[in-house]
Chain A
C-alpha cells in the first residue's frame, strides 16, 4: 500500500517569532526553519507502517519554495522512499494546498494520506479535512493511535472530552496529533543515502489548479502586552494579593 505524507516547512517550534514593526507580517529573516512537528510524526508513522509490512512505499510531498527540498530530504533521511516538491513562491491557503494534494493523490493513488493536524505557523487545522472532502474519503483527525488491518484503519482520536475510536474504510486521510509517536532522529548514514533518493520538482502551473487567494491579511500585530508581574515571597502574600489586589478569590 502506498502512503502519501504531505509535509510543511515552518518556523522551528523553539523560535519565538517577532512581528515586523510595520505590521505586514512576522519577521522570518534568518529564522530557523524545520519540518512541521506534526508532519514529522506523520512521516514517522508511515515508516512504522512500512516496518510492520503494511506500507510498501512512502512518498513525501511538500509545497513551497525551493528551500522545501531541505525538508523533503529530511523526510527521505527518516525513511521516505520518494519525494515530490510542488515549487512555488506564492503563499498557499489550506484550500489551495488541499486541491494540489488532490492532484498528487489522483496521480499516485496512495491508500492512506497521513499529515499533521495543523501547521504550527498558521495553526489552521484544515488541510487534511479539506483533502478528505475533495476526494470524498473518510477522515480520522487528531490521531493518537493507528492500526491498519486489511482494508480498514482503526484510529483513536484525541478529542476535547477524551478519546474516540473510529474504524474507517481505506482509502482514508489521517491527521496526526502529538502522542501518535515519537519521531526518530535522522542518522548521518541515512542522510547520505537520502541524497540518492528521487526528489521530483513540479511547477505549480503544470497542476492547473486555481490557487488564487480567497483571504487577505490586512495586518499582523503582537498580542496585547501584559503588565509586568511581581514575585511574592510566601503563600500568605500570594493569597493576600489574589484576594485584595487582583480580587479573583
Chain B
C-alpha cells in the first residue's frame, strides 16, 4: 500500500518542507516493505510544481489536482480533495509538513477519515511508531498508532533532512476527480514576507533578536550580521509582540521550529517557549546583557554584554 505525501507550495514553487516530509515517508517505507511514495499536489496552474515534486528522490508518482478552487489553498476544499484521493486509492499513511499549511489542513483530513493524527513527528521508529516532542520540547514521547487507517502524520522538518532533487522525474498523473468548493470560504488576501529573504526553517545559520534589541530600528544591526553570515533572521515572541518584526519571524513553541547549524540568540532571555523552537540547533550562541538569562544554560558559547555594541563588532570581524 503506498504512502501519500501532501505537497506544500505557493502556486509558484514547491516548499522545501515537502522534501523533508518525503524523507520521513522514505523512512516509513523502509520499514514497510518498500511501500511506494506518492505526492499529491493540489493547486491552480500547478503543473510545474507537480514536475518539481516528481523530481524529489524517492517519489514514485505525483498526483496533480489542478483547478481554480484549489488555488487559494483553503483547508475545506483541499481536505475534500485529499478524501477523494484516499477514496480512490488505499494509503497506509498520509503525511504533510508540520507547517501552518499542514497543521491547518491535515487534522481536518484525519477527522474525516476518523483517525487520530500524530502531530509533529521528529523520528520514525517503525511503520506505526514515532517520536514527537511534547511540553514545548521538554519531553519526547514515543507513540504507537494502535488503531485506525491510514496513519496520519505531520512531519517536523527539523527531524529529517530534505530529500534531494534528481534529474529524472517520476510520472505525473492527473487526479481523476476534483473536489467542488462547498464551504463558501473566500480568500480576501495575504501579506507575505518578500520571497528573497532566506527561509528561516531551511537556513544553515539563523540570527535571532529579542527584546534586548530595544527598538525596531536596531533589528538592522541583526540584518547586517545575517547578511555577512548568509543567515536567516528570526525573533522571539517578545520582539514580535513589541512590533520590531512581523509574526513570520517568530521562533518558538507556537512559531517556527528550527534546527540550523548555528543559532545566534541576541538579546533573547531564553524562555521555555523560545527554547522549544531552537533547542535542536547544532551550535547555539547567546549574546545578552544579563549574565543570569536562562538562554546561557542552553548556549554552547555565551557572551555577556550589550547586544547593540557587540553586533556591529561581530559583523565587522566576520
Contact surface of A with B, Cβ cutoff 8 Å: 11, 13-14, 16-17, 19, 26, 38, 93-95, 98, 117-118, 120-134, 138-139, 141-142, 144, 154, 157-169, 177-179, 212-223, 226-227, 229-236, 238-239, 241-242, 246, 248-249
Contact = CB atoms under 8 A, between A and B. Distances in A.
Nearest to B304: A231
A41 to B, nearest CB: 11
Interface stretch (B46-54, B145-153, B172-180, B213-221): B145-153
Contacts of B107: 94, 125-130, 133
B168 interface: no
Given A16-B272, A130-B111, A235 B313 contact: yes
A222 B140 contact: yes
A213 B192 CA distance: 39
Contacts of A118: 254
Interface stretch (B22-30, B32-40, B60-68, B181-189): B181-189
Interface of B is mostly: mixed
Contacts of B191: 162-164
Given A221-B140, A223-B133, A239-B318, A117 B254 contact: yes
Q: Which 6 A-B pairs have the closest CB atoms?
A: A129-B107, A130-B111, A133-B111, A214-B116, A126-B107, A165-B188
A13 B272 contact: yes
Given A139-B108, A235-B310, A246-B283, A123 B300 contact: no
Contact of A223 (B110, B138, B190, B272): B138
Given A138-B184, A214-B148, A222-B140, A230 B190 contact: no
B137 interface: yes
Given A130-B111, A161-B193, A232 B142 contact: no
Contacts of B117: 94-95, 124, 126
28 contacts: A11-B135, A13-B272, A16-B138, A26-B134, A94-B107, A94-B117, A95-B114, A95-B115, A120-B135, A123-B133, A133-B107, A134-B111, A139-B75, A141-B100, A142-B100, A162-B193, A166-B186, A166-B188, A179-B247, A213-B146, A215-B144, A216-B144, A218-B129, A218-B143, A220-B140, A221-B142, A246-B283, A249-B205
